[in-house]
């Protein structure tokens, strides 16, 4: 969950999985935080609904380790 202040500056970020308060300094998130956004469409039971959530790295790892198939891992050569 992310809260934004005036000028759309990030003021607070909390993991939806464990309620961990993430480190935010001057509008910049200083820790890894997964942002999940899913817009459900016509062929879904949740047509027209959008779900958003954030997971700290620990909760992200717990979720992905429960997958039957592992995530695809790609090593980025350049950081922008
Ligand atoms: Zn968490």
Look at residue 23 in the predicted model and tell me its pLDDT. 98
Look at residue 78 in the predicted model and tell me its pLDDT. 80
Q: What does the pLDDT look like over 18-52, one tens digit per residue?
A: 999 999 999 999 999 999 999 999 999 999 999 99
Look at residue 80 in the predicted model and tell me its pLDDT. 63
> How remote is the CA of residue 43 from the centroid of ligand 1, in Å?
31
Look at residue 76 in the predicted model and tell me its pLDDT. 87
Q: Kindly list the domain boundaries of the chain, sorted by start residue.
A: 2-65
> How remote is the CA of residue 76 from the centroid of ligand 1, in Å?
24
Q: What does the pLDDT look like over 64-75, one tens digit per residue?
A: 999 999 999 999
Q: Quick check: 16 and 52 in contact, CB under 8 A?
A: no
> How remote is the CA of residue 52 from the centroid of ligand 1, in Å?
15
How distant is the alpha carbon of residue 4 from its chain centre? 15
Tokens of 25: 């300094």
Tokens of 49: 């609904």
Helix (H, G, I), strand (E, B), or coil: what is residue 64? helix
């Amino acid at each position: 969950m992310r809260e934004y202040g005036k000028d759309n500056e990030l003021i607070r970020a909390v993991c939806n999985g464990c309620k961990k308060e993430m480190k935010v300094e001057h509008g910049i998130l200083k820790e890894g935080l997964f942002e999940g956004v899913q817009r459900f469409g016509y062929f879904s039971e949740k047509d027209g609904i959008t779900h958003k959530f954030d997971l700290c790295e620990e909760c992200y790892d717990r979720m992905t380790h429960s997958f039957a198939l592992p995530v695809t891992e790609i090593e980025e050569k350049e950081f922008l």
